[in-house]
Structure 1
Amino acid sequence: MRRVVVVGAGHAGFHTAFFLRSKGWTDEIVLIDTDSRVPYQRPPLSKEFLWGKQELEDGVFRPDTYYLDEQIELISGHQVTAIERPAKQLILEGHAPISYDHLVLATGSVARKLSLPGGDLDGVHNLATAGDAAALRSGLASAQNVVVIGGGFIGLESAAMAASAGKRVVVFEAANRLMARAISQPMSEYFEKVHRAAGIDLRIAAGVNAVEGIDGRVRSVVGSDATQVDADLVVVGIGADANEEFAAKSGLATDRGILVDEFLKTTDPNISAIGDCARFPLFAADGSSELVRLESVQNATDQARFVAHQIMENTADPYRAVPWFWTEQFGRKLQIAGLVTGYNRTELESTGPDNFSIHCYHDETLLGTESVNAPRDHMRARKELTARLKQEVNATVIRFRS
């Protein structure tokens, strides 16, 4: 009887267990998570849950009876502290050690805290767990002045929700444009206009020096230009780091993520790493690759499916996938296929001011497509990029035609 142990019960971890069992794995599966709740989805926390359209229990992957019915041993509320690799055993806080035949690390990422004076005041919120989301939703109900630090997906989704609820919202973004790590400049400019039109005070290329409070409670935020902004509540969305600490202490190779090969295996062949915690080789159609760490549901789910298949079949085919992401702000659903980093020109395909796609190229090679309220364009781009990736030939000219 073989045992697969999965550490982390987010999208990557849950789906590893799910795919193993649904595809016919009859041996043992153990799923371990630090959160004491039944495994749940994270993306709705900054979307449907904050809007009040969904409760925490609506976001669980499966009810607790599922784990009993499928004979998946769920160990909740316990932290893995070490991997004893020679013995193939995990050490947990408050729980007996767990042995494994194959170990899957799906430990996710850790939201960066605000390392500034006042960053620990009551009313300063990160948004990573169900507990974070519940506290933020409760605080937003009574807040009038909301400051968001960080103009990425989570920060802007939170800002959009707060502004739509009638709050006064100020966003500080240190970079020179919104969502700069993920999208093109033209798309950043579009969303800047959307947020400004909704009344949000965007302060771009502007840092924060301190958070100030009274009696332990946040009252204002001081910008890098010494401007003071009233704040009843602060949302911190300044990125996340791979949860790699105990993997590194256990001797696995790490570098801004747990390093894995094209089969998603770590430097220990008995251990895989997937999802937000893993840096893996992302391949282009010409066979070139770069090490990347992606934070997306699609990446987590695709890698979980691949690793489950590898454990069962040990196939020789390496992992290949086209990344895609999405965010929704003020009724504009942005879907991204591919990675647009490194583009040097763009082409616009539009059917209206809020229904369009931006195709991002490096010379004549399509890198990715960003679509606003244009799902057909998005699916077409994913199909094109996937077909090109499977061919693994030198990319020539890819054009979109109506």
Structure 2
Amino acid sequence: MTTASRFIIAGGGLAAAKLAEALRSNDFDGHVTLISAEEKLPYERPPLSKEHLLGKKSLTDFTVDPAQWYRDHNIEVLLGTTVTSIDRTTKTVALPDGTTLSYDKLALATGSRPRRLPVPGSDAEGVYTLRYIEDSDALLAMFGSARRLVVIGGGWIGLEVTAAARAAGVEVVVLEAESVPLKSALGPEMGAVFADLHREHGVDLRCEVRVAEILVADGSATGVRLDDDTRIDADAVLVAVGARPNIELAADAGLATEGGVLVDESLATSDPDIVAVGDIADQLHPVIERRIRVEHWANALNQPEVAAKTMLGKPAVYDRLPYFFTDQYDLGMEYTGAVSPRQDTRVVVRGDLGKREFVAFWLDSGNRVLAGMNVNVWDVTDRIKQLILSGAAVDPDQLADPAAPL
């Protein structure tokens, strides 16, 4: 690539910032434009439901790069701007003011947005979602005045916000449609670990319930009504029922999409001049041997290096195993690997489940390790990866024995 080449990054999160970094570290000296819908420079999102909500970090602590870095590396940053359309024939993108920018290579890092709850009252004042720094700021301010918060959804965001709210002294009622929280991510046995954790910290966790309505008075949320007509009073409501990938831009441009933007092992889309990274990337994963789309920090952090090489015409494959983490109360957890809900698996626990100091392994029918989750046990992630990548069958009894080396 020459200095005349123009690369555009559509998106303003961690993946976009890391892609800008990777292009420069791979010696691309052409023009780079990063186009972000947010008014803030790219920042990491995990602290929004963790340290920031606990009052331990401010935005500057988790902003990826300061403004001076972009200036020093000649990265043009357009904040508060979105790409409205892509013309793949002319290789241009359109902006809201009607102007167009040409590109030689384009990266899509458009992220995701919170799913909305299709019930009456969901747009009232006092109904929160969490995706942006402004959302986290609003929740933190609410903690200072609210007596009770209802959290709709027992996934990662819902439970992390719950832990932060309890630390602030707010009563919390969590409403979960499944039999335990995190069932779709971890299964019933490990989901029960998190259910017990939150109940021990005073959370009113109600499972197998459905919300029929968010109650509203004078324009503000006052609680919820369940489908059995149970009413729960509250000063605020958090809707945490998952995220929806922002794939409309890609789909309108005619790129292959199917719940995400379809990419190959190198993160190239169906158009070889366009890559996709982060939440939207539905990748044909060379290790897991199926398509997988992961809405976690590690993908946004690590995929851009591969995407940058692909944009520069260098051979590259993204083969890292999925990884995510959570911190709730005194529980710290890391999860490595991937298990399809359709796979027949068994869980083997190594350590003390009652003390919440253990490693859980998901094994397939051939006793091969598909994933591992370490809870309050550290420095084992690399060994978990080795077990997964080996593809070898293990002895479940030895795996469960803390005296047997991993």
- Give TM-score scaled by structure 2 length: 0.93
Task: Specify whether residues 152 and 204 from structure 1 end up closer, same or farther in structure 2 by C-alpha distance, changes over 3 A only.
Answer: same
Q: Deviations over 1:322-343 (max 9, x none)?
A: 1111111112011101013325
- Give the aligned partner of residue 116 of structure 2: 113
Q: 1:91 maps to what in 2? A: 94
Find the aligned partners of 1:172 and 1:162 in 2 and give their Cα distance. Answer: 15
Q: Does 1:195 align with 2:198?
A: yes
Q: In the TM superposition, what is the alpha-carbon distance from 1:351 to its structure 2 partner?
A: 5.3
Alignment deviations for residues 365-401 of structure 1 (CA, whole Å, 9 cap, x no partner): 1110011011223332023334x3xxxxxx3314544
Q: Distance in 2 between matches of 1:88 and 1:358?
A: 48
Cα distance change on mapping 1:374 and 1:233 into 2, 3 Å: same
Residue identity in the other structure for 2:349 = L
Distance 1:125 1:256 in 2: 25
With structure 1 as the length reference, what TM-score do the two structures score? 0.94
Q: Which residue of 1 aligns with 2:287?
A: 284
Task: Say whether residues 1:243 and 2:246 are aligned partners.
Answer: yes
Shift of 1:10: 1.0
1:112 deviation in Å? 0.6
Aligned partners of 1:262, 1:282: CA distance in 2, in Å?
Answer: 6
In the TM superposition, what are the counterparts of 1:3-402 in structure 2 within 5 Å? 3-94=6-97, 96-284=99-287, 289-315=289-315, 317-341=316-340, 342-350=343-351, 353-363=355-365, 364-386=367-389, 388=390, 395-398=391-394, 400=399, 401-402=404-405
Secondary structure of the equivalent of 1:325?
Answer: strand
**Runs of 5+ unmatched residues, structure 2:** none
> 1:22 deviation in Å?
2.1
Deviation digits for residues 164-188 of structure 1, max 9, x if unmatched? 2211110011122211222132211
Query: Is the 2:352–2:358 Cα contact (8 Å) retained in structure 1?
Result: yes
SS in 2 for 1:116: coil
Contact kept? 1:343, 1:367, Cα under 8 Å: no
Measure the CA separation in 2 of the matches of 1:45 and 1:161.
Answer: 11
Offset at residue 95 of structure 1 (A): 6.3
Letter in 1 for 2:308: A
Bigger mean CA offset, 362-371 vs 347-356: 347-356
Q: Percent identity?
A: 36
Large movers: runs of 4+ above 4 Å: none
Partners of 2:139 and 2:392 lie apart in 1 by: 48
AA of the residue aligned to 1:303: Q
What RMSD in Å do the two structures reach over aligned CA positions?
Answer: 1.5
Contact 1:103 1:270 in 2 (8 A): yes
Decide whether the 8 Å contact of 1:147 with 1:234 is kept in 2: yes
Q: Secondary structure at the residue paired with 1:182?
A: helix
- Is residue 113–residue 236 contact of structure 1 (8 Å, CA) maintained in 2? yes
* Count of matched residue positions in the alignment of Structure 1 and Structure 2: 391
Q: Greater shift after overlay, 295-304 or 342-351?
A: 342-351
Tell me the distance in 2 between the aligned counterparts of 1:90 and 1:338: 36
Q: Is the 8 A contact 1:78 1:94 kept in 2?
A: no
Alignment deviations for residues 201-230 of structure 1 (CA, whole Å, 9 cap, x no partner):
111111100001211011111112211011
One-letter amino acid of the structure 2 residue matched with residue 217 of structure 1? S
Q: Residues 31 and 73 of structure 1 are in contact (CA less than 8 Å); yes or no, is this contact kept in structure 2?
A: yes
Measured in 2, the distance between the counterparts of 1:373 and 1:343 equals 27
Give the conservation status (yes or no) of the 8 Å contact 2:267–2:310: no
Q: What is the distance in 2 between the residues matched to 1:297 and 1:70? A: 24
Alignment partners' CA distance in 2, 1:383 and 1:334: 18
Q: Give SS of 1:176's match.
A: coil
Contact 1:149/1:172 (CA < 8 Å) preserved in 2? yes
